[in-house]
Amino acid sequence: MTQPEHIKTIADDDPRYDELRTFIHDEKNKQGVAMIALQEAQRLFGFLPLEVHKFISKESGVPIAELYGVTTFYSQFTTELRGKHQIHVCMGTACYVKGAQKVLDKVLEVLGVEVGMTTPDRLFTVNAARCIGCCGLAPAMMIDNKVYANLVDVDQIPEILAKYKTQDCQDGLSE
């Protein structure tokens, strides 16, 4: 199963490109334009796919491979689409023996994706994490900065996830 194509594409006339163009043109003659342009693009799009690299290259004159070298060096950048919320299911030793696999399976089942993937509504990206440092709360997972503890009963997971969905619908942030 691979990430569906449609959620990874950015329309050519996406207004965020105009914003990025203006930003690059203001910074173009400064040293290190690659770094700040990529940071701005990461902020605007949430990820840096090939077409964003091509756009920055065209506007800044920095070769695509050089931009990609910067993107893949720093962990602040990602070439894959990331969701609004990052789910980290802890697979560390303590969580694992207390049933972390069941937690992860449930999260994946509810969201209908695989590890590392983002949901089609771009709300969640699911990550299998190493120890998140809450062994006493095992099995645990984090959504963004909030820790969910003692998830032995995996049936509470749909409810936890639903909260984020409703919240974002109310904020008008979800599509």
- Which residues of this chain interact with other proteins, rule CB under 8 A? 50, 53-54, 62-69, 72-73, 79
For the bound state, the minimum distance from the C-beta of residue 56 to other proteins, rounded and expressed in Å, comes to 11
For the bound state, the minimum distance from the C-beta of residue 61 to other proteins, rounded and expressed in Å, comes to 9
What are the φ and ψ backbone dihedral angles of 88, each rounded to 5 degrees?
-115, 105
For the bound state, the minimum distance from the C-beta of residue 70 to other proteins, rounded and expressed in Å, comes to 9
Which residue type sits at 135? C
For the bound state, the minimum distance from the C-beta of residue 62 to other proteins, rounded and expressed in Å, comes to 8
Return all residues near 119 (Cβ < 8 A) that are at least 6 apart: 83, 111, 112, 113, 125
Which of 72, 101 has the CB closer to other proteins? Answer: 72
Which of 25, 163 has the CB closer to other proteins? Answer: 25
For the bound state, the minimum distance from the C-beta of residue 50 to other proteins, rounded and expressed in Å, comes to 5
Which of 72, 166 has the CB closer to other proteins? Answer: 72
Which of 64, 162 has the CB closer to other proteins? Answer: 64
Which of 69, 112 has the CB closer to other proteins? Answer: 69
